[in-house]
């Protein structure tokens, strides 16, 4: 007798999703047992988002849900037991115990210690009666003496610790959660919780959580058949948790779309209390490893007061966001340049800024420039021997732009003109600088509804994303030898 997962969902008819997951708890050890017992009929417990949508649909609580559904509304599907089968990704999760009381939906998935095909009689599944007992116990605890939302939030924040006592490893020991609370309170009086040494104080004010994902993309492009172009994404997730209490608990989840690139080489902040082993073992070193973990990436943590970097990661995306070609031909004191840039169709075509910087080292000042540009504007900085191609905030519909021209130089002056030990002769580059807001190249995002906060008060949750270029070089295709990241000191 055990439970695979437990949920508390507040029914909110006016919200876009018509509900919010206020609490969820999964038991990985029970899930492994379910996989063994159920065999080929095993259906994994979904994430909170898909479960919420499927359950509200089954309970007919979605907004404007008036269409007839054969699987739900036919006469052969009259439900009198509060046991449901939820359609999840083409499969059915069964049995799901669920009922609603005082605007709160209580749900759990009991363990069935046998195959689910054919479905066994309900009376033979002992976990169902235990599930009802657990959910009724939680309901009684939440609303015994509860007078307002503040008290409800306080009790919800106590549930993680209470279930550790009352339902360890998914097995119910005591449905009276008040007994567990009294036991915890007695222990706290005997051993009062101390302020952690790494936390200088406590926060007082409106609760809020801010999550920012910043990805930097690096690239080296040569346009040579015998030399492979390289590119890589490096990401950092920065958080700021303004929550009351000495040790508030937060769970932050990062997700990827269906075609997203898996996160690898993940390093986490010391405040993260536990981590799935699949997250730690996802590495970019073994290119032959096809078992990359695609999330969701869950980070349970006890946040510090200040802003902190929750995690760092890398990712190998299929293609760089902008493909480039750069060619330089030298003719006496002139250089003929050709530049072609193409924005990949999968990349968001909305830049905060985008420009290409074309420096000319070890030469005299620029005295004359003749050019033709298909898009954007070109600025000439003569004394710095630098061209800046301001592309703007969007590429044209064709996603391709070009620049061609002739640059003439004056006499060389060693005192003022830029010098570089690498860019000698035909070795030259252009460097792209761009930034795209509300976008990541991997597709990584933090869903506001998946953030769980176990503290007093309902926090405001804000999420941000951006992609920034970093060391994004396109080298002269006529250059004699390639230049790598390690050889640059720019």
C-alpha pair distances (Å), 211 with each of 250, 254, 264, 307, 462: 12, 10, 19, 10, 6
pLDDT at res. 95: 94
Q: What gap in Å lies between CA 137 and CA 75, rounded to an integer? A: 33
Q: Which pLDDT score is estimated for 489?
A: 36
Residue 192 pLDDT class (50, 70, 90 cuts): low
Q: What is the pLDDT of residues 28-37, one digit of tens each?
A: 999 999 999 9
pLDDT, tens only, 197-211: 666 677 888 999 999
Q: How many whole angstroms separate alpha carbon 167 and alpha carbon 172? A: 4
> Residue 174 above 90 pLDDT?
no
The pLDDT, as a whole number, for residue 415 is: 64
Compare 291 and 195 and report the one with higher pLDDT. Answer: 195
- The confidence score (pLDDT) of residue 290 equals 52
Q: 418 falls in which pLDDT band (50, 70, 90)? A: confident
- Calculate helix-pair angle for 126-143, 149-166, nearest 10 degrees: 140
Residue 43: predicted pLDDT = 95
Mean pLDDT highest for which of 73-87, 345-359, 371-385?
A: 345-359
pLDDT of residue 200: 63
Going by pLDDT thresholds of 50, 70 and 90, the confidence category of residue 315 is very high
pLDDT at 32: 93
Lowest mean pLDDT among 20-29, 58-67, 129-138, 365-374: 58-67
Identify the pLDDT of residue 423: 83
Q: Does the pLDDT value for residue 481 go beyond 80?
A: no
Dump the DSSP string for 386-453. EEEEE--S---TT-EEEEEEEEEE----TTTS---SS--TT--EEEEEEEEES--SS--EE-GGG-EE
CA neighbours closer than 13 Å in the CB half-sphere of residue 112: 25
Residue 47 pLDDT level (bands cut at 50, 70, 90)? very high
Q: CA-CA distance, 230 to 226, in Å (whole number)? A: 13
Instruction: Tell me what pLDDT residue 341 has.
Output: 96
pLDDT in tens, 64-122: 655 555 555 555 555 567 899 999 888 999 999 999 998 899 999 999 999 999 999 98
pLDDT reported for residue 187? 46
CA–chain centroid gap for 378, Å, is 37
Cα distances (angstroms) measured from residue 426 to each of 422, 475, 478: 10, 10, 7
Confidence of residue 186 (pLDDT cuts 50, 70, 90): very low
pLDDT at 157: 87
190 pLDDT tier (thresholds 50, 70, 90): very low
pLDDT for the residue numbered 189: 44
Q: 174: which 2 tokens?
A: 């005591």
Buried b (16+ CB within 10 A) or exposed e, 51-64: bbbbbbbbbebbee
pLDDT at 246 over 50: yes
- List the 334-343 sheet strands across, edge first: 322-331, 334-343, 400-409, 366-373
Is 222's pLDDT higher than 50? yes
Q: Which domains does the chain have, with CATH numbers?
A: 2-183 (3.30.450.60), 204-412+421-489 (2.60.40.1170)
């Amino acid at each position: 007798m055990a439970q695979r997962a437990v949920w508390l969902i507040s029914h909110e008819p006016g919200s876009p999703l018509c509900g919010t997951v206020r609490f969820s708890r999964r038991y990985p050890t029970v899930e492994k047992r379910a996989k063994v017992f159920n065999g080929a009929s095993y259906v994994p417990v979904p994430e909170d988002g898909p479960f919420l949508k499927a359950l509200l649909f089954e309970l007919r609580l979605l907004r404007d849900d008036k269409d007839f559904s054969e699987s739900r509304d036919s006469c052969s599907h009259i439900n009198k037991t509060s046991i449901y089968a939820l359609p999840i990704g083409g499969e059915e999760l069964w049995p799901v115990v669920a009922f609603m009381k005082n605007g709160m939906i209580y749900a759990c998935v009991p363990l069935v210690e046998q195959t689910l095909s054919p479905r066994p009689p309900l009376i033979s599944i002992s976990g169902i009666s235990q599930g009802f007992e657990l959910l009724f116990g939680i309901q009684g605890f939440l609303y015994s003496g509860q007078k307002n939302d503040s008290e409800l939030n306080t009790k919800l924040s106590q549930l993680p610790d209470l279930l550790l006592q009352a339902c360890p490893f998914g097995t119910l020991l005591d449905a009276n959660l008040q007994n567990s609370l009294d036991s915890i309170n007695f222990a706290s009086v005997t051993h009062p919780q101390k302020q952690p040494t790494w936390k200088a104080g406590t926060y007082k004010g409106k609760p809020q959580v801010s999550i920012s994902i910043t990805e930097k993309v690096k690239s080296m492009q040569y346009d040579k058949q015998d030399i492979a172009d390289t590119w890589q994404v490096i990401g950092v997730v920065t958080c700021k948790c303004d929550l009351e209490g000495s040790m508030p608990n937060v769970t932050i989840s990062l997700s990827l779309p269906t075609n997203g690139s898996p996160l690898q080489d993940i390093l986490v902040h010391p405040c993260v209390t536990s981590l799935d082993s699949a997250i730690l073992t996802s590495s970019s070193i073994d290119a032959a490893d096809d078992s990359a973990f695609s999330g969701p990436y869950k980070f349970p943590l006890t946040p510090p007061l200040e802003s902190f970097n929750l995690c760092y990661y890398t990712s190998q995306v299929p293609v760089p966001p902008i493909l480039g070609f750069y060619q330089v031909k030298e003719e006496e004191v002139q250089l003929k340049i050709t530049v072609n840039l193409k924005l990949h169709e999968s990349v968001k075509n909305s830049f905060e800024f985008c420009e290409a910087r074309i420096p000319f080292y070890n030469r005299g000042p620029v005295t004359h420039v003749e050019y033709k540009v298909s898009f954007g504007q070109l600025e000439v900085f003569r004394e710095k021997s630098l061209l800046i191609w301001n592309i703007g905030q969007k590429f044209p519909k064709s996603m391709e732009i070009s620049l061609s021209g002739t640059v003439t130089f004056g006499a060389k002056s060693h005192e003022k003109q830029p010098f570089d030990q690498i860019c000698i002769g035909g070795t030259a580059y252009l460097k792209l600088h761009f930034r795209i807001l509300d976008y990541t190249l991997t597709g990584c995002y933090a869903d506001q509804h998946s953030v769980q906060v176990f503290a007093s008060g309902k926090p405001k949750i804000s999420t941000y994303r951006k992609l920034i270029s970093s060391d994004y070089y396109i080298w002269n295709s006529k250059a004699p030898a390639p230049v790598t990241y390690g050889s640059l000191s720019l």
